[in-house]
Every structure is written in structure tokens, then in C-alpha cells.
Structure 1
Amino acid sequence: MIALALPAATTGEGFVPPTTDELHLPDVLPWAADYGTGVGKQMILVLLSVVIIAWFFSKAAKKQALVPSKLQLVGEMGYGLVRDSIGKDIIGQRDFLKFVPLLFTVFFFVLVNNIYGAIPLIQLPSFSHPGSAYVLAGIIYVLWITIGIRKHGIGYFKMVVVPSGVPWPLLIILIPIEIISNFLVRPITHSLRLFATMMAGHLIVLLAGSGIEYLLVLQDNIFLQATSVLVLVGGVAMYMLEALIMVIQAYVFTLLTAIYIQGALADEH
């Protein structure tokens, strides 16, 4: 992380803080951009996360012993968390089981791609790039609308935008608000909450690393060099906080997914 900040701090013009442009490395295969897409570190990490998740849970579920191994125990705890705390509690006893595979996949996919930001040398959460968050939130957006239409037919759109029991004069105001809230604001906030949190945490750690390098290496004043220790302590604290937020955001993103599905299945809105 400090290595990424060196150019910003060694310009000779005083401390220059890192920018969002420094969060994303150049494409590994820049020539692929000529065909509509580049292949960068984040894309590679996203693909790697699929391999990691598939390998881990295949390994954890391989023996299925009555007395579970540590690996099997961790896998069962992860599955139980998603199944009971998110699926059953939010969607409800009657309908939750068929959505557990989706919620399970979403939770661990987001979790692994977030945790990358806490791993030395990698230190790049995939969802610090807006494109990843937009695509995932877009998939969930299409999914909950599809579930609602399958459950209620085309009348689902009326259920979403026309609150029941409201006097018709108020509907003139409420219907546009419901349309904007459900079909515009919801997918945007679902993606931005994940993206902005990951980018902000990543940027703060990058800023701390750049500040330490600037104070310790580029300053002759012993007092300023000593203050780099305080920056280091603060940076470590922010690093630990970011790691916690990575887990929380995976849970929140999956929780909201379950809430949207539950709303699509409900008889009234």
C-alpha cells in the first residue's frame, strides 16, 4: 500500500495526498480494451474469488462427517449464518429455502472480494471499483422484479408504486415518489453503499501509508519523523476497522437482497 503512494509523496512539492486514480492499477492486458474490456487486477481478483469459494466449500462438504473437521465446521457455520440469520429471519419460514443458495453465493462472493483489501500484497477490495458493485446490484435488481412478477403477475408494479389505503389525492404525490424510490434509488443505493465504503476505507489506508512515508523518509525534522509513529498507530487502527467493515458490508448487502426478495413475495406493500 505504501509503495502505491510513493509517487504522490516524492514529488518534491510537499505532501501530495493520493487520489482515487491511484486506487486502481493499470490493466494487465491493456490490448483487451480494444475489444471493449480491459483485464485488470480487480477483474482477476473477482475471477479468483469464484475459484476460492468453490474450492473451499467443496473441500468443506467433501466428507460430511458426523464429528466435523475444522474446515467442515467453518463451512457449516457460514452456511448456517446465511440460512438462518438472513434467509429464514427475513424472507420467512415458508419461502426462504429456495433463496438460500442465492443469498449464500452473494454473501461469500462479496465477503471474499472485500477481504482482499485486508490481505498484504493484494490489498485491493474488488468492490472499490464502481463497475463491480453496479453489476452485482443490477443483477439483484432484475432478480427481485422478476420474483415479484412471477408471484403477482404484471400487477406487481401497481402493488409497488400504489400504497394501499391511501386517499387518491395523495397518490398524485406518492406514486412518483414510490417509482423513484423503488426503481431508481433502491438499486443505486444498494451499489453505492458497498462501493463507497470499500473505496473510502481503501483510500484512508492508502493516505496513512503515504503520510508515514512522507514524514519518515522525506523529512529531516526529527519531531516530524517521530509523529510518523502516531500516523502508523492510526493507520493500523483504521486498517482493523476497515477489515471489520468489509465483513459488515457483505452482511448488509446480502441482508438488503433478502429484504428486497421478501418485499417481492409479500401480498401487500
Structure 2
Amino acid sequence: MKGEFHAPDLDKEFFPGHVTDSGEVVNMLFTDFANGWFAMDRIVLIRLLMTAVVVVFFLWAMRKPKLVPHGVQNFAEYALDFVRIHIAEDILGKKEGRRFLPILATIFFAALLMNLATIIPGLNISSNSRIAFPIVMAVAGYIAFIYAGSKRYGFFKYVKSSVVIPNIPPALHVLVVPIEFFSTFILRPVTLALRLMANFLAGHIILVLLFSATNFFFFQFNGWTAMSGVTILMAVLFTVYEIIVIFLQAYIFALLVAVYIELSLHADSH
């Protein structure tokens, strides 16, 4: 049972496109097409796959909608009702909740399916563990809450209402206005993207380390074989925990976007 330990190499997943001495670009597809503009690595392929799964699922579920849903349509409507009732309407009320339901549902299901890839055998990583897609969803939420405030108050009045707190000493505005501006218009989208990315990057690294430790303890066979049972059990338990995080992070992301939209709709109510 003697073996050899191979340290996990994350560079191939998170920093693809390494060029060898012979000029070959490794771990990338379509590098020769259109001068590499459409080159893809494994995470991009997973992202495209999970996007296709979301789109195909809802097109299939709603292809022939019936007044009394059943089967796949019933499941799809239940999922949409969860976002409508527990995110959109809970935070924004019925009128505004229905108005912003499309963007909130899109963000929720996109985040959920991208997260789900982390526990699917053969994929084993969420594309949200790299910052690109979390930034896209954060920008979508950013545009949504700025639009909501601008539509209600006008852009400049909305910005003023968001950063100027009434009934405080005038001298404090010099300090408070930059803090409010930074918090509202810079920190919100940044924290949305970083929170999602960091959770799944950390989760992926922990799972890689646990399964690598299992490989090490099992194959080295130097009195530590029993430890492989401990590490594989921890890996399984952490995978179960990841299932909870998969849903929770999608919910939190969509919920925070709804909260930011609500704050924009009532920007003058500090």
C-alpha cells in the first residue's frame, strides 16, 4: 500500500492559460480561435453548462403552462413562489415585489445553480469561486437599486437623499457624506461579490485539502491509515454543510439586493 502524495494544484483552475516553453497554452480551449478572445477554461465551461441548465429547466417547465400545475411545472412555480413570497414581497411588499421579481429571481436561481456545481461529481467546483460571475450579479443588483431610487426621486435627488442625513450639525456633513457615499455606492456591490466568491473559494479549498489528506493517509500506510477514515468522514460532512451554504448564499445574495432596492425606494426616510 505504499504510494505517492501529490499536492493539490489549484493554479490550473484559478489561474489557467499557462504557456509552456513550446508556446502551448494549457488548460484552455479555443485559444487559436479569434486570437484567443473566446478561450475558455474548465470554470467557464461549468458556468456555461449551469446557465444552460437554468434556462432549459424553466423553458421546459413552462413550455405548456396549465392553470392547475403538476409535475415539473409545479416544482418550477413552487421555486418561483419561494423567491416571490420570501424575498421580493417580504422585503418590498406586493406591488414593488412583483415589479422587481424578475431581477431577484434571476439572481437567486443563477447563484443557486452556479453554487450547486461545487458538489456535482465531475464538476466539483462552483464558478462563483472565481470573482467574475459574482461581479456580474453584483453589478445587476447595483443597477437595480440605483434604477429604483432614480425612478422614484430622480437621479440627483436620490443620490442626495442617500448620502445626506438630515437634522445633524452642518459641520458633520463633511465627514458623514463621504462615508454614506462610500457605503451605499461602492461598498454594497463590492461586499456582495466578495462574500459569495470567498465562501465558495474557501469551501473548494477545504474540500480539496480534506480529500488530498485522505489520499495521503491511505496510500502512505505508515501507521496513519486510520486517519484516512477521519478525513474522508470530515470531507463528507463538509460536503453536507456545503449543500446548506449553496442555498443560503443564493438566498442571502438575492435578499440583500432586495434590501438595497427597498432602501433606495425610501432613500428620503433616514
Smaller-chain TM-score bracket: 0.7 to 0.9
State the partner residue of 1:231: 231
Q: Is the 8 A contact 2:141 2:257 kept in 1?
A: yes
Change (3 A) 1:165 1:37: farther
* Shift in Å, 1:250: 0.5
Quick one: which of 172, 175, 180 aligns to 1:173?
A: 175
- What is the aligned-residue identity percentage? 31
Q: State how far apart, in whole Å, the 1-side matches of 2:201 and 2:94 are.
A: 36
Q: State how far apart, in whole Å, the 1-side matches of 2:37 and 2:134 are.
A: 19
* Shift in Å, 1:207: 0.7
Q: State how far apart, in whole Å, the 2-side matches of 1:203 and 1:22 are.
A: 13
Output one character per residue of 1:3-47: Cα deviation in whole Å (capped at 9) or x when no partner: xxx99x33xxxxx4x465254363223345944453122222222
Q: State how far apart, in whole Å, the 2-side matches of 1:81 and 1:197 are.
A: 23
What secondary structure, in the 3-state scheme, does the structure 1 residue paired with 2:224 have? helix
Q: State how far apart, in whole Å, the 2-side matches of 1:247 and 1:240 are.
A: 12
Q: Is the 8 A contact 2:30 2:36 kept in 1?
A: no
State the partner residue of 1:3: none
* Shift in Å, 1:174: 1.1
Change (3 A) 1:87 1:227: same
* Shift in Å, 1:83: 0.5
Quick one: which of 208, 211, 228 aligns to 2:210?
A: 208
Q: State how far apart, in whole Å, the 1-side matches of 2:72 and 2:37 are.
A: 41
State the partner residue of 1:117: 118
State the partner residue of 1:21: 11
Q: State how far apart, in whole Å, the 2-side matches of 1:197 and 1:251 are.
A: 14
* Shift in Å, 1:51: 2.0
State the partner residue of 1:263: 263
Output one character per residue of 1:206-249: Cα deviation in whole Å (capped at 9) or x when no partner: 111111111111x131x301110000000101111112101100
Give the superposed CA RMSD.
2.1
Q: How does the TM-score come out when normalised to structure 1?
A: 0.87
Q: Which amino acid aligns with 2:208?
A: L
State the partner residue of 2:51: 50
Residues 90-101 of structure 1: pairs in structure 2 closer than 5 A: 90-101=91-102
Structure 2: segments with no counterpart, 5+ residues: 17-26
* Shift in Å, 1:150: 2.0
Structure 1: segments with no counterpart, 5+ residues: 1-5, 11-15
Q: How does the TM-score come out when normalised to structure 2?
A: 0.87
Moved more, 249-258 or 39-48: 39-48
Q: Is the 8 A contact 1:32 1:39 kept in 2?
A: no
